[in-house]
Amino acid sequence: MTKREASADELIALILHGIEEVKGLDINLLDLRAIDNTVCDYFVICNGTSNTHVNAIVNSIQKTVSKAINDKPWHVEGSENAEWVLMDYVNVVVHVFQKHVREYYDIEGLWGDAKVTLVESSYN
């Protein structure tokens, strides 16, 4: 199967599906396109309850995206301790945190100019 070019919207939908498959929490989508000099177009941010849950979310995202469009992240960082795992899909960067680490770094606050969309989960 060859890699298929997916739109940002399709990639985000697949990422969100992967998060929801393993009950990732507090999902936010940050649209960075209106901000000058950003490294990507979107951030997807969520958290898990433990390092095991964070790794399960990361694995679910990778499996979901790979199965649908045969794509994998350009880079993944933080899997060793699984307190904050960053998954770089070039135009979309996924941040999977443990709650206390997410609160400490406050990515949403740092990118306060971004348009933030709270993603409602079907299991909340």
Q: What is the pLDDT of residues 43-57, one digit of tens each?
A: 999 999 999 999 999
Q: What is the pLDDT of residue 6?
A: 79
CB atoms < 10 A from the CB of 63, how many?
Answer: 12
Q: What is the pLDDT of residue 82?
A: 96
- Residue with the bigger pLDDT between 120 and 34: it is 34
Q: Does a structural domain hold residue 1?
A: no
pLDDT above 70 for 123: no
Q: Does a structural domain hold residue 2?
A: no
**Residue 35: CATH number of its domain:** 3.30.460.10
Strand, coil or helix: 98: strand
Could you list the residue range(s) of the whole structural domain that residue 105 is in? 8-119
CA-closest candidate to residue 44, choices 110, 76, 91: 91
What is the number of structural domains in the chain? 1
Q: Does a structural domain hold residue 3?
A: no
**Percent of the chain whose predicted confidence (pLDDT) is above 90:** 91
Look at 12-16, 21-25, 116-120 and tell me which has the smallest mean pLDDT: 116-120
Name the amino acid, one letter, at 73: P
Q: Does a structural domain hold residue 65?
A: yes
Token pair 């960082």 in the structure block, residue: 77
The tens digit of pLDDT for each residue in 21-80 reads 999 999 999 999 999 999 999 999 999 999 999 999 999 999 999 999 999 999 999 999
pLDDT above 80 for 122: no
